[in-house]
């Protein structure tokens, strides 16, 4: 009798494991960036599976995920998870290899070790194709590195910044020209309504005309709508708070060019959990694809829109 019970338990356990496997597989397919399956052209490129999957073929595109947080006024727990999400998006899609770094000496065409000798191997501005940036405040890079970073983007390197990236380099005027705005605080933190001003852009085409969202909303300053293409903005209708723009304009996501380079900024996301939202992952996936030149869409600076206009 005991043997029969033991066998029944083993059978039930195998059934449960099989069902769990099916559930995990289904969730994995659902979370494919862009709502695509692994047999689509985007995922066939590089065959997925991370680094080395296209051995013998063209060099895989390389993204440097850079997040120096040493001077952060308020450390964001989400930064680590955000970098991991970017790495997974590249790994699962097979579109790019991600190199996660928090040591800003890597921002150079010829990085050095701590003793001043040349670094051996690894990423540098000479061998990457785009940067995903989440640096805090005054990121410690010297003047030569600053010039090399600007040159990297001017010459066609992609630059995608998220959330805290807007707070970086406040004392460096040229960084404003690169990213398109300055950090002006976060007067609104909580649920709000977002307006999709550019439903035809790859990174925001999956969002409806308006939609609810909960985040710490960074207020941009010193920007011009003649220089940036606003994709998403916060709807200030009925919102009362000190320090809000009188014209109701509160951009959250935008694109621009800097020389030959493509630049994208997204205010999302303060909380680690927000990086697990499929629509947020899809936005950054498409932003990096665009910054890498894998999709075509020209920035189109425009006046503030109501979210119902079609590109």
pLDDT digit string, tens, across residues 253-307:
999 999 999 999 998 876 667 888 999 999 999 999 999 999 999 999 998 887 6
Residue of higher predicted confidence among 184 and 146? 146
Do both 9 and 158 map to the same domain?
A: no
Supply the angle between the helices 78-93 and 278-291 in degrees, to the nearest 10: 70
Sheet with 251-258, strands from edge to edge, namely 96-101, 61-66, 130-133, 158-162, 261-266, 251-258, 229-234, 188-196, 210-217
Do both 26 and 5 map to the same domain?
A: yes
Number of independent structural domains in the chain: 2
Residue 148 has pLDDT above 70, yes or no: yes
Please state the rounded mean pLDDT for residues 221-231. Answer: 93
Do both 16 and 65 map to the same domain?
A: no
Band the pLDDT of 39: cuts 50, 70, 90: very low
Q: Is 117 within the bounds of a domain? A: no
The domain that contains 260 carries what CATH number? 3.40.50.880
Q: Is 303 within the bounds of a domain? A: no
Residue pLDDT, tens place only, 115-130: 888 777 788 899 999 9
Q: Is 308 within the bounds of a domain? A: no
Do both 57 and 24 map to the same domain?
A: no
- Domain containing 25 equals 1-30
Q: Is 35 within the bounds of a domain? A: no
Band the pLDDT of 26: cuts 50, 70, 90: very low
């Amino acid at each position: 009798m005991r043997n029969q019970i033991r066998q029944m338990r083993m059978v039930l356990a195998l059934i449960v494991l099989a069902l769990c496997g099916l559930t995990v597989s289904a969730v994995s397919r659902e979370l494919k960036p862009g709502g695509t399956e692994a047999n689509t052209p985007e995922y066939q490129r590089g065959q997925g599976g991370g680094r080395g999957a296209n051995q013998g073929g063209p060099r895989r595109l390389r993204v440097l995920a850079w997040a120096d947080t040493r001077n952060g006024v308020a450390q964001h727990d989400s930064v680590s998870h955000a970098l991991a999400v970017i790495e997974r998006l590249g790994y699962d899609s097979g579109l790019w290899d991600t190199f996660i770094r928090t040591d800003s000496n890597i921002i150079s065409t010829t990085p050095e070790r701590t003793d001043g000798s040349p670094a051996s191997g690894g990423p540098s501005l000479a061998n990457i194709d785009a940067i995903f940036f989440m640096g805090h405040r005054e990121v410690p890079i010297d003047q030569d590195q600053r010039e090399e970073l600007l040159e990297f983007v001017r010459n066609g390197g992609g630059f995608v910044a998220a959330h805290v990236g807007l707070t970086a380099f406040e004392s460096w005027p040229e960084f404003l020209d690169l990213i398109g705005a300055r950090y002006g605080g976060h007067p609104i933190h909580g649920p709000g309504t977002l307006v999709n001003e550019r439903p035809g852009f790859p990174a925001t085409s999956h969002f409806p005309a308006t939609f609810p969202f909960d985040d710490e909303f960074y207020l941009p300053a010193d920007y011009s709508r003649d220089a940036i293409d606003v994709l998403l903005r916060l709807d200030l209708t009925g919102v009362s708070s000190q320090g809000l723009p009188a014209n109701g304009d509160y951009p959250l996501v935008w694109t621009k060019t800097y020389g030959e380079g493509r630049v994208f900024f997204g205010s999302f996301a303060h909380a680690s959990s927000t990086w697990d939202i499929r629509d947020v992952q899809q936005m950054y996936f498409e932003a990096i694809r665009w910054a890498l030149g894998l999709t075509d869409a020209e920035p189109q600076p425009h006046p503030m829109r109501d979210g119902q206009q079609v590109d």
